[in-house]
Every structure is written in structure tokens, then in C-alpha cells.
Structure 1
């Protein structure tokens, strides 16, 4: 489809922008105006909607997908036709796709196994129901880390068909899908089953480990590679245990009966072949803090908290004494105070040393003065009385009879 529908309405969907384009369809980001939620809207190309066989497969795909309930399969909300355009509305996943993750090079073996292991779970569930995806490629594996602590995978954009049916082709014989990850029987239009998806899964594992699909070049070169050429070895592109080459060779065997029976079996074999390379490396070890030799503390020391859990002592062990030290650190204890000493005495003791003797001397002087006063009063028989001094009596005969005059 060459026309961009951004800004237009398709039924009750307002198209907000393009998410991606493929050979058969365009994926849009749209808003369901009835419910007010964002959706991914897959609109089929006008050049194939006129094919009666394709329209029948489209309706069958939509009905089969809407009946699937699996944690790793993107939920389908709606499908229909508006103005001659077929569409499927599905959940909008907030993340990226596997094609974006490997476009600049390989991802770690552990991450590849974790992501494709979820794809294998979804595929085996489809196969148990008699369905085949038939359009498995990295662009249809959606990866998000916003829904859980780990990366979560959604398998999307199905080309679903029933097991035993032939590969997707139009009435004119054109192949529907991407040949980059297509199995030989799919390319030849032969009956398909779950092992057809397993071939594509092995091709994706090769791409995740090496950063490139097993066969590259023009479309015809890629098709001829899948039909008759041996796949290259992964260890010729990247350093990996050589056992993974045998796993990939069996997964991409030209005959379906030479492949693994289930997708889980393929991933389990790859995990065993990769060994430690397929295990998530442990986090770097934290450098150990050097232990301090026991000895007297110098300078301010940080307070060491007690470890969580019950205290390392009981009241019965230390009924009156101080709390025991932690970690064997030396602790200086105050010597016991002599009996009768004041609890409020300062360490300097300068004032207390001379104040107490002075107070004792003053108290003794007061006591002695009181005793002396009491002793004096007891000796006189009573309180002392003050009398006027006696003066001698004058005799009138002794008085002069005449007054002397001056000159006599």
C-alpha cells in the first residue's frame, strides 16, 4: 500500500501514524475513538485484498487469532473491512521488535535464548492447536520491558493457516511473506506444519547469535539458499562453542522430518550446546573492605550499628553492666567512684577542692563562738546588769567660804 492513511479515519479508528511497512500490509498506530485506547492497526494492501483466496485466509487468521489466549501472543481486538480495506486491530506494545535489537550486531547468547524461549512457548501452543504461524521473523517478535522486571515477548502479525495446508500464495502464485526466514516447503508451496515454524525459529537464532540471517543477497539468492544450500556455521562469524553449529544445522534441515520435533526442544538443545556462554554472567563482585587490625582507637570513629536480628546478649548475662562491645573493639570503662562521692562533681574539681574546707572552717568558727557565749552567761549566774559608777560624797565643811580675788 503506497498511500499513507495518517490523520484519516478508518471506521471508528483514528490513524495517528505509521509503525512499519511490509510487503502485504502497513502497521499504523491508531486510536479507538469508542474506547479511547491506543491500538496497532494492520491494514492490508489494496493489491491483495481483491484476491478471493487471500480474503478467506485473512478472515480465518483473524478468527483463529482472536480465540488464542497466551501470555506471549499479542491480543487481537477487532477485524473488519472499511471502504474495501481489510484491517486487524491488536494490542499496541510499548517497546521495540527483535529486528531493531539485532540490526547493529548480535545480542548475547543468554539474551537470545531468553527471548526466543518465549517465542518457542507461544509457537508450540499454536502447533498443539493445529495452527502454523507461517510469517515468523524478527520484525514480528515484539519486546517490551515495561510490563515486568524482565523482557517480555509478544508474537504478532500472524499469517496463520491450518496444519497440512499449503504455504501462503496468491491465486497468481506470488509468495506471501518474507523469504528471509521461510522454510523450503513453505517456499515450494507444499503442506506445512509446526516444523515449518521451527525452521524459521532456527534461522532467527542464527541471526541473534551472529547479527545476520543465514542467507543474504537478492530475493532469488535467498530463496535458492533455503532450497538447496547448506547454512553457514555460526562459529565462522563469532566465537561460540562449536556444538551450536550442529544444533542450527538440524534446526534448518531441508527436510522437515530431520528437524527437532518441537520449538522448545530446539531452544533446549541450543542452551545445552552453548553451556556457560548461554548463562547470564553474574554481577561483578564488590571489592572486600580491608579488615582493621585490633588496637587502640585514634581520632573520631564511626558508630558501628548492630546487625539485624536479636541482640547478641541477654539481660541475664549482663544484668547491671554496660552493653558488650561489638566486633571485639576495645572500650574504655570509667573506674568506679568512691562511696559517698558526689555524682555532680565535675571532672576538673578545681572549685570543689577548696570550697569544702572553707565551709568546714566557717561552720566550726560559728559553733565555737556559740559555745563561748553560752559558757559566759552560765558563769555569772544570769545576765549582767550595768550600774552607774559611784562618786565620792562631798562634805559641806570642806567647801571654801570665800572666793579668792585677783590680786590677793
Structure 2
């Protein structure tokens, strides 16, 4: 059997593993679907080329970290079953995940932010577990993130390919000159051959977050162009590539991809948590401004807004109790000068539901206070014109009353009777009045007799004579 990783080993045996087909290929290894003939279970078998196995430093690191990684029990780290060397080739047998990798899910198009965050937060938790044990993955990329939806209600993530993980690693190449990792997601210190730690994986995770949201990695082009971008360049802002994304995500990715490890987040989980917060709608846009209170808008004249200068004269719509009674605290009540920072209503603007009753509601439930008085006008001139209507109505009513009183009183003094001393200037005609009146003279004034006439049995009363 040859140790060339370019050769297809399908149908052959590698120790106790029967190779059934190719799952994927990389620059240094090939992933096969295989069967453990001893246990009868399906596994993913990663085979590393002979040229890397010949590097003593690489072999030592591979064996050491394979042992450490296989001892980690984490829900988002793919379990390692076995590792070893056969026919000059190093191999690792791990759990076969029935699903796809994150690279296939991205597929050159942006993912939904909520889905991307839901997947990457599982990756972040797995990486922090490795880092707490002093291990560094060094090859965090979408192709090494396996996603399945057949094991739980939500998409479950497994971080795979720990063959390059090492403790206290420095450098980025083997003695043969092979780069350990993927330049597309490699941190600057990784490319420069400087000491590495968990923040190196965090940089790769930030690049992967960028790829999920943009549908492309932060730097594109040939290998040299990509390396220069990681060392000295700045990735285009995510909000420019995908305008629907908020600009806050640019700051999160920028900090995760900081050139210096000291400028990045403390953990991978902290990076993804900040990204989730940045992608959520800004609550400040919907929150009321300081010092202001939301006021319900009236519909059809009901529930009119509270006037900024305090309670309006007369009963308020929907308010119970006696006229002038103040509403209970916390129920539309404001200070006479309005809430702090409130803008006074424009002079003369009458809020809906105040003053005259709205159409369809009839007269107000309560009229003016007993006794015919009217509520006092508001002390602030800018409170509207309702009080002017009350004053004008009072003037009209009082004026009408005075006019009616004068009319009726004058009619009594100028009745239809004449004054007592009023005399007639017209000569009365001669009227015969009986015996003894041959002369034709009148009998005289009342109370007097003439000639031999008998005295009258009654005394006529002349109206207005004062008798």
C-alpha cells in the first residue's frame, strides 16, 4: 500500500479498517468513510500522507495531541476512537457524523445571522474547552465544523480534525516546509511563527463568523494575497457587503480579528456572545427618551391625551368621580408643568377629547359645579381656549338675564293706567242726566249733589284718583 495521500484507498484495508469511500480531501490528508471490522461500526478515518509522517517533529506532536484530544469528553467535540501508524501513514479514527460541514452550508451565500450564531456558539464552547486544557486546534475552518440535524431537535455541531492540535506550539511549518493549518483562516502570529494560544483559534473563529455572514472569507485571492491581508490588511466591513447587517457587527469582527492577540476577546464564547448582541435589534431605538412618558393617542374622541399644562377644566373622558376630581396617581396624571423636558403644546391647539364633547358621544357626563358657577380658568396662558368658552358663555347668560329683568320690570312701571292728576282738555258734551238738570249742566264731581236730586247710593271710583 502506498503512502501517497493523492491515491484513493477505497476498497482497501488499513489495519482493522475497511475503507468504503472518500468523504473529503485536504492538503495534508484524506478523510475516508470506513468500517471497523472488529466492532462493526462506521467511522471517519483520516489518513495523513507519508511525507508528513516522516517528519519526526510532526509525528511526535501528532501522537501527543491525539492522546490528549481523545480524552476530552465534550458534546461538540467529535469523539476520537483510535489513532496510529500503518504502512508509513498516520491515521485517526473518529465518529462518523451523518451530516454536512459548515463550508457546504455556506456555499458562497450569506447565512441567516441567527443560524450562524447558533452554530458558532457551539464551536466557541468546544474551542474554549480545548484552550482550558492548554490545547490549540490551529486549523479552525468551516470544513472542520461538522453539522448534523439527526441527533437532536436543533442542528448539532462537532468540531473535528484535531490532528494538528498542540500544547505551547510555536511556528507554523514543519521541517519540510509544510504550513500547519489553512492560510484562509490563519492568525497573523500563526503565519509569522510566533507563540500560539487560544486567541489564535479565536482569530480563525472570527474569520469563520465573517464567512458565515458574508458568504465569503475576509480575504480572497491567491495564497500570497491572503497572507498579506491577514498580516497587514483590513477586511471589508460586513455591513458594506451585506447592508442588512448592523454596523455594530463590524466592531465585533474587527476585535476578534485584531492583529495583536492582546486586542482580542478573552475567550471564544465572549466573541460569539458579543456578535449575538450586535446582531439583535437596538432596544434604544424603541425605548422612550429620558424624561418623557408615552401617551396613548385618542381614537374617535375617546381617551384624549393629557394636556402638557395639567388637567383640563371639566370632567375628562373616562374619568369617574365628582367634577374637578384629580385622577389617581399613575393614571394619566402629570405635574402642572408637564414631565421634565416636555415640549409645550402649540398655543391654541386643542387636544382631541378636550373642551366640547366629541361627535357621537353627546353631552359630557358631568356639567358645571352646583350653584351655576364655572371652573376657574387655567393659570397658564398656553393651556388652550376652553376657559375662554366658559367665560363667554357666562357673559352671554348673565347679559341675557339682565336684559330680561329690565324688560319685565319696565313693563310693570308703565302699565295701562293713567296718573291720578291727569285732566282732559276736551269739553264733555251736554248729556241730560235727569230731573233738575234742565240747564244741562253736569252733576259735578263725584261726592257732590245738584238741585233736589237724591244723593247717590254709591260713589263711583275713578281709576287713578287715589281714593
Normalised-by-shorter TM-score class: 0.5 to 0.7
Inter-partner Cα distance in structure 2 for 1:207 and 1:171? 31
Matches within 5 A, 1:342-381: none
Inter-partner Cα distance in structure 2 for 1:137 and 1:98? 8
In the TM superposition, what is the alpha-carbon distance from 1:36 to its structure 2 partner?
0.5
Q: Secondary structure at the match of 1:3?
A: coil
1:88-120 Cα distance to aligned partner (Å, 9 max, x none): 000000000000000130110000000000000
In the TM superposition, what is the alpha-carbon distance from 1:173 to its structure 2 partner?
3.3
Matched, 1:27 2:31: yes
In the TM superposition, what is the alpha-carbon distance from 1:167 to its structure 2 partner?
3.7
Structure-1-length-normalised TM-score: 0.67
Matched, 1:4 2:18: no
In the TM superposition, what is the alpha-carbon distance from 1:176 to its structure 2 partner?
1.7
**Equivalenced residues, count:** 277
Structure 2 match to 1:83: 87
Structure 1 match to 2:265: 260
Structure 2 match to 1:237: 241
User: Conserved in 2, the CA contact under 8 Å of 1:183 and 1:200?
Assistant: yes
Structure 2 match to 1:174: 178
Structure 2 match to 1:144: 148
1:41-67 Cα distance to aligned partner (Å, 9 max, x none): 000012211111111111012111111
Alpha-carbon spacing, 1:138–1:50, altered in 2? closer, same or farther (3 Å): same
Matched, 1:274 2:279: yes
Inter-partner Cα distance in structure 1 for 2:165 and 2:100? 26
1:156-201 Cα distance to aligned partner (Å, 9 max, x none): 0014444432144211333122100000001111110010000000
CA RMSD in angstroms comes to 1.2
For residue 118 of structure 2, the aligned residue among 105, 114, 121 is: 114
For residue 229 of structure 2, the aligned residue among 225, 229, 246 is: 225
User: Conserved in 1, the CA contact under 8 Å of 2:65 and 2:166?
Assistant: no
Matches within 5 A, 1:155-166: 155-166=159-170
Matched, 1:48 2:76: no
Inter-partner Cα distance in structure 2 for 1:104 and 1:208? 9
Structure 2 match to 1:105: 109
Inter-partner Cα distance in structure 2 for 1:189 and 1:102? 30
User: Conserved in 1, the CA contact under 8 Å of 2:255 and 2:264?
Assistant: yes
Unaligned runs of 5+ in 2: 283-467
Structure 1 match to 2:353: none
1:192-230 Cα distance to aligned partner (Å, 9 max, x none): 001000000000000000000000000011011001101
1:333-353 Cα distance to aligned partner (Å, 9 max, x none): xxxxxxxxxxxxxxxxxxxxx
Segment drifting more, 98-107 vs 69-78: 98-107
Structure with bigger helix share is 1
Alpha-carbon spacing, 1:77–1:33, altered in 2? closer, same or farther (3 Å): same
Structure-2-length-normalised TM-score: 0.58
1:235-279 Cα distance to aligned partner (Å, 9 max, x none): 1110211000011111000000000000111011111111149xx
Inter-partner Cα distance in structure 2 for 1:82 and 1:164? 28
User: Conserved in 2, the CA contact under 8 Å of 1:250 and 1:260?
Assistant: yes
Q: Secondary structure at the match of 1:132?
A: coil
1:128-174 Cα distance to aligned partner (Å, 9 max, x none): 11111110000000000000000000000014444432144211333
User: Conserved in 2, the CA contact under 8 Å of 1:231 and 1:252?
Assistant: no
User: Conserved in 1, the CA contact under 8 Å of 2:164 and 2:180?
Assistant: no
Inter-partner Cα distance in structure 2 for 1:211 and 1:100? 11
Structure 1 match to 2:406: none
User: Conserved in 1, the CA contact under 8 Å of 2:61 and 2:166?
Assistant: no
User: Conserved in 2, the CA contact under 8 Å of 1:181 and 1:203?
Assistant: yes
User: Conserved in 2, the CA contact under 8 Å of 1:204 and 1:213?
Assistant: yes
Alpha-carbon spacing, 1:2–1:173, altered in 2? closer, same or farther (3 Å): closer
Unaligned runs of 5+ in 1: 278-408
User: Conserved in 1, the CA contact under 8 Å of 2:55 and 2:176?
Assistant: no
Inter-partner Cα distance in structure 1 for 2:65 and 2:47? 14
Alpha-carbon spacing, 1:75–1:128, altered in 2? closer, same or farther (3 Å): same
